[in-house]
Amino acid sequence: MRTAAATEVRRPSAVRSLTWMLAAAAAATVVVEVLNWWYAPEQGFGLAVRTGWALLRSLGFLVLIGHVRRGRTIARPFGLILAVTTVFAVGRLIVPRQGVPPAPGVAGFALLTALCAAVVWQLYRSPALAEHLVRHRRRLVVDRNGIFWREVAPRRPEASGWLLTSRVAAFTYSPLMLVPALAAVGAVLDGRLIAVPAVLLWLGAGIAASYLVLFCTAFLLRGRRWARLLLVVVTVLVLAVDLPLCLWLLGLDGLIRDGGPLLVAAGVALYGVWRADRAAAESPTDGDVGVA
């Protein structure tokens, strides 16, 4: 007699190995941030905000584990953006303003970077994962047989992987703006009251960016060309607001630490749009495949 465990479909070994790597990356993120906080010469308000944001990325790896185990198509672009921005978010805190970084922090950061690189490589180079990551989101379905919660293919034409990657990258604009804006609150607390309007503008722009990205990416996945142009405009506006404020309120150090990750996310989003347009032009009938 076969047990339920015996009849259960086993996931590919690549899924199990990737799950362990993602769990290790989440743990490494926490360890590196704790080490950085411990060795930091100045444990100020800005460092606390950046450290808290970096620690939240460990939860992102746990969410990615769920997507991978369920075979969701969103796992690839989500994993790419999470890995790249995590390396930048953690790396910007390792290097102090003066002196050299502590050896334990550098070793932990090197391990985290290697794990993130391995995660991206396996997501995009493993044939077993390519066959596994094909499932769509589960939705509530009502028909004459009753109410069910099951996987449903989207009604719209399947979006290309490059557009999915652009969408995920664009969704990071808002948090990547809000984190330095909150760090700049420290400048207000230090007596720079002239910075209050700029900080409020920064926070408002970060919140507005989330709604603009949500609007344009909804039509982006439906193949609307004007939505691609709108995403480019939103990206330029986000950079035009964030980078000068980083330089003014947080200095050159803040521009590198906080503006760098946003530049990377913007570059990935724009590159994804460009690749989607190029692939669509080369094969207008088959559509572009991208990286999903």
* DSSP letters for 155-198: SSPPPPHHHHHHHHHHTTHHHHHHHHHHHTHHHHHTT-GGGHHH
CB contact at 8 A, 82 and 61: yes
* Confidence grade of residue 43 (pLDDT, cut at 50, 70, 90): low
Among 50, 38, 19, 176, CA closest to 108: 38
Distances (CA, A) of 256 to 15, 91, 154, 164, 211: 35, 11, 40, 27, 26
Higher pLDDT pick, 28 / 286: 28
CB contact at 8 A, 289 and 187: no
138 sits in which H/E element: strand 138-143
Residue 263, class by beta-carbon neighbours within 10 Å (0-12 exposed, 13-18 middle, 19+ buried)?
middle
Note the pLDDT tens digit of each residue in 110-125.
898 999 999 999 998 8
Q: Give residue 145's pLDDT.
A: 64
Note the pLDDT tens digit of each residue in 124-174.
888 888 888 877 666 655 566 666 555 555 555 555 678 888 888 899 999
Q: Give residue 231's pLDDT.
A: 94
**Which position has the token pair 């790249």?**
84
**Which position has the token pair 């970060």?**
206
* Three-class secondary structure of residue 111 per DSSP: helix
CB contact at 8 A, 242 and 257: no
Q: What is the largest CA-CA distance in the chain?
A: 76
